[in-house]
Amino acid sequence: MDFSISEEQASILLSVDKMISKFLPPEEVRKRDRNYEPPDFLLKHYAELGLLGIPFPEKYGGLNEKWLTVTLVNERLGYFAAIAASLYGTTLGFGGMSFLKYGSEDQKKTYIPKIIEGKLRFSLALTEPGAGTDAGALITNGKKINNGWLINGRKTWISSADKADYLVTPVRTIPNSSGSDGISIFLIPRKSEGISMTYLEKVGNNCLTSWDIGFDDVFVSDENIIGDKNDGFRNLMSTLHYSRSCQASNAIGQAQNAVDIIKKYVVDRIQFGKPLSRFQTVRHRIVDMQSRVDQARMVLYRLAWLIDEGKRCRIEAAQAKILASECLQYVTHHGMQLLASSAYSLDSDMQRLWRDSRLYTFGEGANEIQKEIIAKEIGL
């Protein structure tokens, strides 16, 4: 593995820095967090910079670049704002890579160019009241009719569903099947008749809206199945590899931002006649923080390399998700302690990072289940 960043990758990251500094500076992030306003306008700027075309072949209008480049971009976006990375990661992870890896050629030609142009949004409608981390327990069902399916059921805690053009929705298509059998993945237009949505309030991630979704005889055509019918669970696991990679890179970007905020504070803050940075307890705690960020980053970059090489990566996807999410919680927890009252103010970036961090250890599959995945993969 070569950990150096190419000139092209460095140029892309510089363009990201300039774009975010112009359109989503820190004061804008704070304002949008207070007002629950997602920066959806960023998608067009991602498209203008070519960021949405990075992992796709040239024949669909893409740049045919490595997934590692996507990872670097998403980490940098996460450094500036969690929602900036979420907008990017869900567009590629939930939608784009699903089409690229197991969509039909017609679906690829239809949807990927629009994704690259920033004209499509996706939301993964996986979680149900009785099926979250246990994806095989889902009961939302599809009944076959002429030319399509009628979908009935309920999904919950679905991120940014109100902004999505399509809901990427795992549905049970064999009656009375259980576990991973008999699941198909449907591309459901969000504005379909029979869909109802209820907004869900939560602790953090104010710009990442969450929704409860009901499906009441929602018609979906046969051509809107992604991948093979009744074999959707296997494809879903592939989608989650990409989405967990994006979530990990987002978390690592946020964690690095938190460490940098802490470093600046302890250098400037004078106590007992000297900067806090001169106290060994403080210095060593920050060293532990940076070490955890770097460890999580190395596992993430290895995951990206495995994805680029087309190698099996169930262990590494789970590891990256665990290490990045726990790193983010560790850093923000201790950041709140070191910044003390300064961090407790609602004007503080640290309190936002701290609130937002709580999602990551159970979002995209609880860390306890990630450990079970790893245990099975290593023969336990």
CATH of the domain at 155: 2.40.110.10
- Per-residue confidence (pLDDT) for residue 337, from 0 to 100: 95
Query: pLDDT tens across 347-377, in order?
Result: 899 999 999 999 999 988 899 999 999 999 9
The first and second tokens of residue 318, run together, are 């789970």
Dump the DSSP string for 229-284: TTBHHHHHHHHHHHHHHHHHHHHHHHHHHHHHHHHHHHHH-EETTEEGGGSHHHHH
Helix (H, G, I), strand (E, B) or coil at 214: strand
Q: What is the dihedral of CA 352, 159, 14, 318, to 10 degrees?
A: 90
Query: pLDDT tens across 75-117, in order?
Result: 999 999 999 999 999 999 888 999 999 999 999 999 999 999 9
- The answer to whether residue 268 sits within a structural domain is yes
- Per-residue confidence (pLDDT) for residue 136, from 0 to 100: 76
> What CATH number is attached to the domain comprising 108?
1.10.540.10
Domain co-membership, 226 together with 237: no
- The answer to whether residue 2 sits within a structural domain is no
Domain co-membership, 18 together with 50: yes
The first and second tokens of residue 12, run together, are 């892309």
CB atoms within 10 A of CB 54: 26
**Residue 95: which of 22, 156, 169 has the closest Cα?**
169
Domain co-membership, 217 together with 318: no
Residue 22 has pLDDT above 70, yes or no: yes
- The answer to whether residue 180 sits within a structural domain is yes
- Taking residues 158-172, report their average pLDDT: 94
Query: pLDDT tens across 56-74, in order?
Result: 999 999 999 999 999 999 9
- The answer to whether residue 1 sits within a structural domain is no
pTM summary value: 0.93
Domain co-membership, 114 together with 127: no
Residue 1 has pLDDT above 80, yes or no: no
Domain end position, chosen among 63, 86, 120: 120
Domain end position, chosen among 105, 120, 135: 120
Assign 37 a pLDDT band (cuts: 50, 70, 90): very high
If one counts the domains in the chain, the total is: 3
Q: Which domain holds residue 60?
A: 7-120
Angle at 90 between CA 89 and CA 93, to 5 degrees: 75
- The answer to whether residue 41 sits within a structural domain is yes
- The answer to whether residue 260 sits within a structural domain is yes
Query: pLDDT tens across 237-260, in order?
Result: 777 888 899 999 999 999 999 999
- Any idea how long the chain is? 380
Assign 130 a pLDDT band (cuts: 50, 70, 90): confident
Assign 164 a pLDDT band (cuts: 50, 70, 90): very high
Domain end position, chosen among 196, 215, 230: 230
- Per-residue confidence (pLDDT) for residue 235, from 0 to 100: 83
Assign 133 a pLDDT band (cuts: 50, 70, 90): low
Query: Could you tell me the CA-to-CA distances from 205 to 133, 211, 320, 368 in Å, in that order?
Result: 20, 13, 21, 22
Burial of 114 (0-12, 13-18, 19+ CB in 10 A): middle
Domain co-membership, 211 together with 291: no
- Taking residues 281-292, report their average pLDDT: 97
Assign 144 a pLDDT band (cuts: 50, 70, 90): very high
- The answer to whether residue 224 sits within a structural domain is yes
Domain co-membership, 224 together with 237: no
Residue 179 has pLDDT above 90, yes or no: no
The mean of the pLDDT values for the chain is 94
Q: Position 260: which residue type?
A: D
Dump the DSSP string for 226-240: ESSTTBHHHHHHHHH
- The answer to whether residue 86 sits within a structural domain is yes
Domain co-membership, 166 together with 195: yes
Domain co-membership, 141 together with 272: no
> What CATH number is attached to the domain comprising 335?
1.20.140.10
Domain co-membership, 165 together with 292: no
Residue with token string 């149900």: 128
List the beta bridge partners of residue 198. 212
DSSP 128: B
Domain co-membership, 259 together with 326: yes
Residue 121 has pLDDT above 90, yes or no: yes
Domain co-membership, 194 together with 258: no
Domain co-membership, 213 together with 275: no
